[in-house]
Amino acid sequence: MSGAVRRTALILVSGGLLVAWGGEWMARRHMERRYRAAIEAQQQLELQLGELQAERGRLSEALTTEQQHSAQLNAAIMEKDAVVKETLARLNQEERTVKDLHEKLAGVQRQFDLMQGELAATLQQQGAVPGPSASGGMVQLERVIVAQDSHADAASDVQGRILSVHPEWRFVVISLGWDLVKIGDVVSIYRNDQLLGKARVERVQEQVSAATLLPEWSDAHVQANDVVRTL
């Protein structure tokens, strides 16, 4: 082979090698750029991931705080609800109490009105008082002289007797006026020196008074003319 041919072949081979090396170099540079771009993209993603994780942590902490606050609010609401229920129950009880007291007061007033009429009627039946006066309709009571009973004990020197009994109202009319008893006094009721019961004076006039049997003596079988002694 002549020298010219060898040079030509060498040139062609060298050119091919240069072309191949250049293509490989270009490919390598392209791969390096892609690698760096991928690295940068990975770093960006890692940065975004860190920010997202930090945001998630803040949101989780805020959620925990809100849950705790919500639990506290729920507890406070339940406590207030309990207080409201208790207050309503107490209010209902007070309303029932007021209603009961109102009814009892009305009953007591009716009892007192009945006492007033019974006092007047009893004294009129005994001839102790005239009828209602024309001027004001009020009963004028004459003074009743109460004799001492021979069976009176040493602790009591005031004695009278029962004029009338009203078991439906648990009260009696007795022959002791305001010069001998006052409202709130407790008197004892006897028959043949046997204690039958006790009563509290509720209404007093000049000659007579009305007394209500004490609860523990509400079933006492008292009757007119039983002896009454002050305590």
For residue 25, the model assigns a pLDDT of 78
Between 49-58, 119-128, 208-217, 220-229, the lowest mean confidence (pLDDT) is in 119-128
Q: Give yes or no for residue 49 having a pLDDT over 60.
A: yes
pLDDT at residue number 143: 38
Sorted by sequence, the CB contacts under 8 Å of residue 223 that are 6+ apart come out as 162, 165, 191
Structural domain boundaries in the chain: 1-129, 159-230
Could you give the dihedral angle defined by the CA atoms of residues 43, 49, 51 and 52, in that order, rounded to the nearest 10 degrees?
Answer: 160
Residue 105 has pLDDT above 70, yes or no: no
Q: Which residue has the higher pLDDT, 11 or 229?
A: 229
Calculate mean pLDDT across residues 194-208: 92
Where is mean pLDDT largest: 63-72, 88-97, 125-134, 146-155?
63-72
CATH 2.40.10.410 is held by the domain 159-230: yes
Please check the confidence at residue 73 and state whether its pLDDT lies above 80: yes
pLDDT at residue 175, as a whole number: 92
Question: How much is the pLDDT for 217?
Answer: 87
- Name the pLDDT band for 183 (thresholds 50, 70, 90): very high
Query: What is the spatial distance between Cα 188 and Cα 179, in angstroms, rounded to a whole number?
Result: 18
Strand partners, 164: 173
What is the rounded CA–CA span in Å between residue 148 and residue 175? Answer: 12
Percent of the chain with pLDDT over 90: 21
Residue, of 13 and 172, whose pLDDT is higher? 172
Q: What is the mean pLDDT of residues 142-153?
A: 38
Alpha-carbon distances of 19 from 13, 14, 25, 43, 158, rounded to whole Å: 10, 8, 10, 36, 150
pLDDT band at 74 (very low <50, low <70, confident <90, very high): confident
Higher pLDDT, 65 or 4: 65
User: Given this model, what pLDDT does residue 75 score?
Assistant: 85
**What is the mean pLDDT of the segment spanning 206-224?**
89
